[in-house]
Amino acid sequence: MRLAVLAATLTLGACSAEAPAPADTPAPVVLVTEIPRAPVQPRSNPGADATLDLDGIVERGIVRVLVTRSGTHFFPYEGGYAGRAVDTGVALARAISARSGKIVQAVFVETHEPNLIPHLLAGKGDVAANLLLTFARDEQVAFAPPIRTGIRELIVTPENEPLRTLEDVGTRTIYVRDGSDHHASLVRLNEQLRKAGRSPARIELAVPPVTDEQLLQRVHEGHIPATLADDYIYDRQRASLPNMHSNPDIAVSLGGSLSWVTRKDAPQLAAMLKEFFSTHRLTL
């Protein structure tokens, strides 16, 4: 879920109609397991397309995870893949193995963000990692309990060029990943700015596999004037990239909810995801 907000003095509904409240938020549990760091995972062949439920996944012995490149969650490392989405996928595969009594391994399939749901529905993967909950997506796929809620989408600028007012947004060129949720948010932001009689931001698209973390690095180095980032990504990078700034009073959206998803016609796997993400916690 995201709610659009542009400044402390002005709220715009660009995203408020886009997302339902997170579904199936788990009740408090006695024991929550922290998802541990996993070894670097090899680049493996995901095999033929198939729309399987949990029993078919166990029979095949692999659970295929569709995931987008990210400096935090999923990135190439030492000839394989690492990141917190990799750690989560490995932990999920181990949970499936423990439940079934058969060895199941996670295979990671790097996927451009706009293709996550289409490729999931086409059987190119069994689950997709780290999708923002929206009404449209909730109609298409089954969302697990969120791994992170209350996400704020921030405009990040160089330290010496901070945003001070809403009017400043229209004077900026803002770089976002092509096809990303940030791109969609910026388009909605511009629509609302125009309706309010204000100048829109200028959008520049960064071609994948560039990551949000790399765009923050470019802001820090002064190579680009601004970008959008989720607050937890910005906060994680802030100490190592001191020459960037975000005004806490100017947020493009509030209340984002990030989850793993699967197909609605895989009820066993959906139930497994619900149980797993109700009893496992991911911290950065």
Is the pLDDT at 16 greater than 60? The verdict is: no
Amino acid at 79: G
- For residue 258, list its beta bridge partners: 132, 148
Is the pLDDT at 25 greater than 80? The verdict is: no
64-114: per-residue pLDDT in tens?
999 999 999 999 999 999 999 999 999 999 999 999 999 999 999 999 999
Q: How confident is the model at residue 12 (pLDDT cuts 50, 70, 90)?
A: very low
Mean pLDDT to the nearest integer, 218-222: 98
Q: How confident is the model at residue 211 (pLDDT cuts 50, 70, 90)?
A: very high
* Domain limits, the chain: 3-21+149-256, 33-146+259-281
Q: How confident is the model at residue 18 (pLDDT cuts 50, 70, 90)?
A: low
Same fold for the domain at 3-21+149-256 and the one at 33-146+259-281?
A: yes
CA atoms within 13 A on the CB side of 263: 19
- For residue 220, CA distances in Å to 182, 231, 243 come to 19, 16, 5
Distance CA 197, CA 57 (A): 53
Q: How confident is the model at residue 2 (pLDDT cuts 50, 70, 90)?
A: low
∠ CA 121-211-252 to the nearest 5 degrees? 85
Mean pLDDT to the nearest integer, 192-212: 95
Q: How confident is the model at residue 1 (pLDDT cuts 50, 70, 90)?
A: low
Superfamily of domain 3-21+149-256: Periplasmic binding protein-like II (3.40.190.10)
Q: Of 20, 11, 9, 87, which Cα lies nearest the Cα of 256?
A: 20
Is the pLDDT at 169 greater than 70? The verdict is: yes
Is the pLDDT at 10 greater than 60? The verdict is: no
Q: Of 219, 223, 211, 212, which Cα lies nearest the Cα of 243?
A: 219
The pLDDT value recorded for residue 278 is 97
Supply the mean pLDDT for the chain.
92
144-160: per-residue pLDDT in tens?
999 999 999 999 999 99
The pLDDT value recorded for residue 11 is 42
- The structure tokens listed for 129 are 């990692």
Q: Is the dihedral of CA 167, 168, 170, 175 positive or negative?
A: negative
Residues 203, 151 contacting (CB under 8 angstroms)? no
- For residue 205, list its beta bridge partners: 176
- The structure tokens listed for 202 are 């200028």
The pLDDT value recorded for residue 248 is 83
Q: How confident is the model at residue 27 (pLDDT cuts 50, 70, 90)?
A: low
What's the pTM value of the predicted model, to 2 decimals? 0.91
Residues with Cβ < 8 Å from 198, sequence gap 6 or more? 166, 167, 169, 170
Mean pLDDT to the nearest integer, 14-32: 58
Fold entry, domain 33-146+259-281: D-Maltodextrin-Binding Protein; domain 2 (3.40.190)
Q: How confident is the model at residue 4 (pLDDT cuts 50, 70, 90)?
A: low
Residues with Cβ < 8 Å from 30, sequence gap 6 or more? none
The pLDDT value recorded for residue 231 is 98
- The structure tokens listed for 40 are 């670097």
Distance CA 260, CA 65 (A): 10
The pLDDT value recorded for residue 164 is 86
- The structure tokens listed for 254 are 């509030």
